[in-house]
Amino acid sequence: MNNKKNEKITIEELKKILQERDYKMTEQRREILQIFLDQPSEHHLSAEDVHMILRTNKSEIGLATVYRSLELLASLDILLKIEFGDGCSRYELNLKPNVHRHHHLICLKCRKVIEFDEDKLDELEDEIAKKSGFAITNHEVKFFGFCRECQEKYEDS
Amino acid sequence: MNNKKNEKITIEELKKILQERDYKMTEQRREILQIFLDQPSEHHLSAEDVHMILRTNKSEIGLATVYRSLELLASLDILLKIEFGDGCSRYELNLKPNVHRHHHLICLKCRKVIEFDEDKLDELEDEIAKKSGFAITNHEVKFFGFCRECQEKYEDS
DNA sequence: ATTAATGCAAACATTTTGCACCATC
DNA sequence: GATGGTGCAAAATGTTTGCATTAAT
């Protein structure tokens, strides 16, 4: 596979992935996927976010359909489901389905989320797998703190 | 997993922590704290779990009070709030409030959660803090996979 | 034509809140 | 006695589901 760095997957390729598993590429799924393709990758959209974007796009897709689509796309590893502790599940495009490197830096004040790519956990993962007998398939790392802007706000007050 | 008995914090000490911040040590908070003191540290209790344990202890504390207490205790760093993606927040005693080392290994089949103490993330944390300007206060690492038992079940089928 | 997907509303689960009463300091 | 804290029920949230209708293959 010639996987260039930031080459985005196309709707046609996504359609193929769906059909391989006997799912249909519907207009609704197409529109939802297009939203993720159009977003900067560091955006993490909730079902409600997606629904709102659809509405501003004059699209009348039901919220239940949004939930069902997001869950399906996550089960196919097209989207990644993430929890940031803000009360709802969020999703982002899974750009590198074969590599599990996925870090987030979450500001505890303004809830901003920043992504990171570095990964130094393979060694730790191996160690833990050996000790526990687990077959580890993925890991998730979150750093919590206060972003530069919120630190400044604290200093002012 | 090894359940080493660290010197556990006492109710008296917890009372002091509450009073330092002008919170009262009520009978309800005492009972809820006692549950966490009595649990092996690798148990992660939801509000519903705590409420059920109270009921079996013939205690009639309202569920809203349980929620309010857990949130308060987490805000005081007495408890840690964790999300495992099972639809509810879970809490555990924060044994080492000054050290943020907190790993979980989650079985994607049976939802078993195992704890780990090792930490190799300080270096990565420093690096990320420098690059991002964040003041990092904590981090959270989760490994997902299949535990030994569930792997065996897969092999059988 | 078959089968899955959608839309809607209703159900559900978890958590939060308003308010009168009660307990702790 | 003042100030929080509790209990209850009601509401708010986020998500799922049943079912008739619609659309993709």
For every residue of B76-128, DSSP letters joined together read TTSEEEEE-SSSSEEEEE-S-TT----EEEEETTT--EEEE-----HHHHHHH
Closest CB from A124, A142, A146 relative to B118: A124
Pairing of strands A45-46, A135-146: unpaired
pLDDT at A3 over 50: no
Q: Which residues of A touch B137 (CB under 8 A)?
A: 108, 144-146
- Name the band, by pLDDT with cuts 50, 70 and 90, for residue A103: confident
The alpha carbon torsion through B48, B53, B55, B60 (nearest 10 deg) reads -80
- Name the band, by pLDDT with cuts 50, 70 and 90, for residue A155: low
Closest CB from B105, B140, B151 relative to A128: B105
User: What's this model's pTM, rounded to 2 decimal places?
Assistant: 0.82
So what's the pLDDT on residue B100? 62
Average pLDDT over residues B1-13: 66
pLDDT at B6 over 60: no
Average pLDDT over residues A6-15: 84
Give the span between the Cα atoms of B18 and B23, in whole angstroms. 5
Round the average pLDDT of chain B to a whole number and report it. 86
Residue A134 C-alpha, separation from nearest chain B C-alpha, in angstroms: 4
Strand C contact nucleotides, protein CB < 7 Å: 4-10, 13-18, 23-25
Among the listed residues A145, A142, A10, the one whose alpha carbon sits nearest the alpha carbon of residue A83 = A142
Give the span between the Cα atoms of B84 and B45, in whole angstroms. 11
pLDDT at B4 over 70: no
So what's the pLDDT on residue A88? 92
So what's the pLDDT on residue B1? 42
pLDDT at A30 over 70: yes
Average pLDDT over residues B112-130: 81
In this complex, the residue with its CA at the shortest distance from the C1' of nucleotide C25 is B24
